[in-house]
Amino acid sequence: MRGLSALTWSAAVLAITGVTQALPRISRQGKYLFDPSGNRFYIKGVAYQPQGQLAETSAANAENGGFPEPSSYVDPLSSSANCTRDIPYLKQLGVNAVRVYSVNPTLNHDACMSALDSAGIYVMLDVSLPLNGSIDRSSPSWSTNLLNEYTTTINIFNKYNNVLAYNIANEVVTTNANTVAAPYVKAAARDIKAYLKGIGAAALVGYSATDGDAAFRNSMAHYMTCGADDVSVDIYGLNNYEWCGDQNLNNSNWGAITAGFSDIPVATYMSEYGCIFSPPRLWTEVAALYSAPVSNVFSGGVAFSYFPTSDGYGMVTFSGTNGSTVQTSADFTRLATQYNATSPPNSPTKSAAPASATIACPTQNSTWLASNTLPPTPNEAVCNCVNDNAFACRVRPATANRPVILGSLLDYTCSLLGSSNSGASCSTIGGNGATGQYGVLSYCSPAIKLNYAFSAYYEFSPIPQSCDFSSNATLSANRPNTAQDAQTAAQSCLAQEPAGGVFTPRPASSSPASSNTASGAGASGSGSAQSSRAAAGRAAEVGRSSLLWAGLGLMGLLGGGAAVLA
C-alpha cells in the first residue's frame, strides 16, 4: 500500500488542471466502437461511485423487488478536491473511462469533468437515481417524472465532450418473473435516444444487465438490442462476476457468454466485473477481455470498484483530513499491472467493420414474458392537461413528496375502485409489459396517477368525505362542475396525444410547468414502425372508452380499460 509523494502529487495536480485538447468523440458502427481515426476503441474502466446509505429495512428493499439498494448517494463528480485527489490514481490504473452511477444535476461538475477530460478519461453516466429515481423492477413504469429526471441530467452533462454514454437503467430485470419490466426499459432507451438526437448529442445510450442463466442472459441482451436502431440501445453492458481467481474462458463461463453474445448487433462490454469470492483478485480476466475471442464480441469493461464498499469490492482506502490521503491495495496494484499490459487487437477497423445489422426479438414463452410492444412516450402535456382540467380530487403537496405514502394510497384507492361495483379500475393508469397493454395515462407521474384514482372514487361518491383520505387529499378549487365538463376536458386533453404515442421529447425548459410535476416533454416527431402499429389500437381504445362515460363520469371515460398497443 502506498501514496503519492509530495513532488508527484504537485505534478499530477498541475497536469490535470492544465489546458489540454478535448477527448475525441467515440462512435459506434455496428457492434464495435471506434475513435475518429477509425481504430477500435476499448473501454478500460473502473466504477467510480462512493457507496451511499443502504436501504436496510426489508420494507425499503421490498419496494425495489427485493434488491438491496442505496437510499442516498454521493455525487462523485461534484467535488473538485476529490477528483484532484483521485485522478492520479485512475491514471496509475491505466483506465480510460469511469462508470458513475448517480449524480445531482443541481451541483456543479465543471472541475471534475474537465480534469477527467484532461486526463484522457471518459465518463459512462447512469442517469437514474436510487429508489424513486429509476424504473421500479417490482412495479415498472416509464413515466413523465423519470423522463424529466433523465433529460435534466443529460442537459447538464451534454456540454462535456467526454461523456461516452448514458445508462438508462441498471439491473431492472433480474429474474424471469420480472421480464415484464423489459418493455419499460426499452421504451426509456428509445425516448432517450430520440432526445439525444434531437439536441444534437453524440453520446451513446446503454443498459447494464444482471447476470443469470444462459437463457435469461441471452434473451435480455437480444431484447434490448433487437429491432430498428431507434428502439435499440447503442451499447449493452453485462454485470458479471463469474471469473473468480485464476480461471479461464471455460471454467469461468466467459466462453459461453461470449458465444451467446456473438450475434448482438451493438457494442457490448462488461459493465461490472471483478469477483472477490476466490481471493486474491488476480484480474486474469483482463487479459482475456482484451484479446480474441472475447475481444471479437466485447469492447472492454469496467472493473468494480475504485471506492471501498461494505462488501469488500473497493481498491483504495482514504485517511487524513477529509479523506485527502489515498492508500492503494494489492487489488489496485494487480489491476493496474493488468490494464497497463493490455494491447487489444485493432480488428476490425472502422473501414472493415460490418454495417449495422438487425436481429429478431425474442418470442414470448413461459420464462420470457416481455411483450415486443413498448409503452408510449411519456407525454407531460397530456398528463398536466387532464390533471388540471378533469380531476376534482387532488393529493396534498406534502403527501405527493412522500413516495412511500403516495404508493400506499394509490394501492388502497385502486382497491376501493375495484370493489366499488362501478365497473371502474386503475387500468387507465397501469400497464402490462406481458400483454403490451398500457393505460392512456400509464405514463403520468405517481402524483397524477393518484389524482386520477382519488377523482374516480370521488365521482362514484361525490361528497366531501370522499376526497379526504385521512387528510391526504383535497377538492380542487377549479374542479369540473359536472361529469360532462370533466368528460369534455379529458377528451380535449387526450386529443393532444400525437399519432402513435411515440415522439421526440423536448428539453424540459421548453414545456409549461404544472403545479404537480416538473416541466417536461412536448409532442413532436415520430416513432418506429412498432409505434405506428400501436397508434390504431391506442386511438381506438380512447374512442371506445369515451362511450362508457354515461352515468360513470370520469371513471367511464378513463377507467374503461387499458389502451391496447398491439
The backbone torsions φ and ψ at residue 424, rounded to the nearest 5 degrees and listed phi first, read -95, 160
Residues 165 and 258 both lie in one domain: yes
Active-site positions read 171, 272
- Would you put residue 66 in left (φ > 0), alpha (ψ -120 to 50) or beta? left
Spatial neighbors of 371 by CB under 8 A, at least 6 apart, are 183, 364, 432, 433, 434, 435, 436, 566
Q: Please tell me which of 340-349, 499-508, 522-531, 541-550 the model is most confident about, judged by mean pLDDT.
A: 340-349
Give residue 418's pLDDT: 83
Residues 184 and 295 both lie in one domain: yes
Residue 11 lies in a domain: no
CA dist., res. 154 & res. 151, Å (int):
5
Q: Which of 196, 214, 236, 191 is nearest to 32 (CA)?
A: 236
Convert the pLDDT of each residue in 121-141 to its tens digit. Answer: 999 999 999 877 899 998 999
Query: Has residue 441 got a pLDDT over 90?
Result: yes
Residues 205 and 270 both lie in one domain: yes
Residue 12 lies in a domain: no
* Strand 437-438 relative to strand 563-564, pairing: antiparallel
User: Which domain covers residue 488, as residue numbers?
Assistant: 380-564
Give residue 551's pLDDT: 28
Q: Please tell me which of 6-10, 63-67, 530-534 the model is most confident about, judged by mean pLDDT.
A: 63-67
Residue 220 lies in a domain: yes
Residue 54 lies in a domain: yes
431 pLDDT band, cuts 50/70/90, is very high
Quote the number of domains for the chain. Answer: 2
Convert the pLDDT of each residue in 375-418 to its tens digit. Answer: 999 999 999 999 999 999 999 999 998 888 998 999 999 999 88
Q: What is the CATH number of the domain that holds 432?
A: 1.20.58.1040
Give residue 514's pLDDT: 33
Determine the average pLDDT of the residues in 453-460.
91
CA dist., res. 226 & res. 221, Å (int):
9
Determine the average pLDDT of the residues in 525-551.
30
Length of the chain counted residue by residue: 566
Secondary-structure breakdown of the chain: helix, strand, coil percentages, each rounded to the nearest 5: 40, 15, 50
Convert the pLDDT of each residue in 161-202 to its tens digit. Answer: 999 999 999 999 999 999 999 999 999 999 999 999 999 999
Q: What is the CATH number of the domain that holds 282?
A: 3.20.20.80
Query: Has residue 99 got a pLDDT over 70?
Result: yes
Q: How distant, in Å, are the alpha carbons of 173, 239, 299, 359 from that of 208?
A: 10, 7, 14, 19
Residues 389 and 290 both lie in one domain: no
